[in-house]
Structure 1
Amino acid sequence: MQKDSVDRMIDAWAGTQPDLDVSPLEVAGRLLLCAHHLQQSLTEALQPLGLTFPDFDVLNTLRRRADPTGTNPTDLAESALITTGAMTTRLHRLEQAGLIRRVPDPADGRAVRVNLTPRGRALAKRALTKVLAADEAFLNPLTPTQRQTTATTLRHLLLPFEPE
């Protein structure tokens, strides 16, 4: 079997500190490295469209929610796991680019709702196609059965951290 960088790291630890249990690196190290490589692929896929991954996330969250009255910026921030201040900055940039519009909330005059513009909707659709292609390329080494097993295993790891 071909060795990867995690195998080499484990071998190095075995040589310098053989009593140290580095077995968590078998999974955790590979998860971190895979996440890094996938993030890099997604960044490269979105760059020609002039989008960052956080921009993509906002645009496609709006598209997926498809709320005709728009989405509350606080809901977007919670979905992206960022502060409302960071979301405001992101929304300002997307609004300046003509991809979203913020309109007053008819139910609360102090609040706003966020909608995609037609240009934003079209770009979000193109970006999703690029991201799914990058995801597919990343997962290409796995068989359908391996993908399903991996998805199930990762779900078990993720669920304890998910909100009820």
Structure 2
Amino acid sequence: MSDAVDAVMEQWRKERPELDVWPMGVVGRLSRLSRLLERELKEFFAGHGLENWEFDVLATLRRSGSPYELTAGALLRSAMVTSGAITNRIDRLEAKGLVERVRTGHDRRSVSVRLTPRGLEIVDEVVALHVANEARLLAALDPGERDQLAGSMRKLLESLGDAPPTA
């Protein structure tokens, strides 16, 4: 079996035989796979009236547990976007009636973002379908291959400084 990345690597081997292009095999495939998966997920979420980022915010709030509420800062750390982008995302989800801002404590500046009942209903409906869709996308791998791939990617992510968000 060969893929588009094999073809690119072969071209480089012919043009620059002194280069060891093995990294292109990994990074090129990860990049291509990321684009293909992103396209598939975009189509899936669009079929449910959502953008990828909308589901990401809703799912982050949902998995935080009842009352399905986090500070904007916690959402920011989870989303890996700028503070302006997270504010914009919250504004847009609030306009759609999927989240609400809630004042917390005595400090008027302290605000949390909470799923509305409609937001909770939507994320609960879509998440099971999303997991099934992801399983479909990974169907070419047997369970051992999936575990090995997940472990290798975890190791690489950790080596590049990707860590779980902290509260």
TM-score (norm 2): 0.91
The count of aligned residue pairs is: 163
Q: 1:118 to 1:147 in 2, by over 3 A?
A: same
Q: 1:3 to 1:69 in 2, by over 3 A?
A: closer
- Tell me what 2:90 maps to: 91
Q: 1:152 to 1:132 in 2, by over 3 A?
A: same
Among the aligned pairs, what percent are the same residue?
37
Tell me the distance in 2 between the aligned counterparts of 1:44 and 1:158: 26
Higher relative contact order, chain-length normalized (CA < 8 Å, sep 6+)? 1
Q: What do you get for the CA RMSD once the two structures are aligned?
A: 1.6
Q: Map 1:1-164 onto structure 2 (within 5 A).
A: 2-68=1-67, 70-160=69-159, 161-163=161-163
The aligned amino acid for 1:127 is: V
Q: 1:159 to 1:69 in 2, by over 3 A?
A: closer
Tell me the distance in 2 between the aligned counterparts of 1:107 and 1:144: 50
1:50 CA drift (Å): 1.7
Tell me the distance in 1 between the aligned counterparts of 2:152 and 2:27: 13
What are the ranges of 5 or more consecutive residues in structure 1 without an aligned counterpart? none
Q: In structure 2, the residue corresponding to 1:82 is in which secondary structure?
A: coil
What are the ranges of 5 or more consecutive residues in structure 2 without an aligned counterpart? none
Q: In structure 1, the residue corresponding to 2:39 is in which secondary structure?
A: helix
Residues 38-47 or 154-163, more deviating: 154-163
* Contact 2:59/2:123 (8 A) holds in 1: yes
Q: 1:69 to 1:55 in 2, by over 3 A?
A: closer
Q: 1:57 to 1:69 in 2, by over 3 A?
A: closer
Q: Deviations over 1:34-85 (max 9, x none)?
A: 1111111111110022211111110000000024282111110111011221
Tell me the distance in 2 between the aligned counterparts of 1:25 and 1:126: 39
Q: Deviations over 1:85-133 (max 9, x none)?
A: 1111101110110101111112422121111111101111222223212
The aligned amino acid for 2:146 is: R
* Contact 1:73/1:87 (8 A) holds in 2: yes
The aligned amino acid for 2:31 is: L
TM-score (norm 1): 0.92
Q: 1:67 to 1:85 in 2, by over 3 A?
A: farther
Tell me the distance in 1 between the aligned counterparts of 2:39 and 2:128: 16
* Contact 2:61/2:68 (8 A) holds in 1: no
Tell me the distance in 1 between the aligned counterparts of 2:133 and 2:32: 16
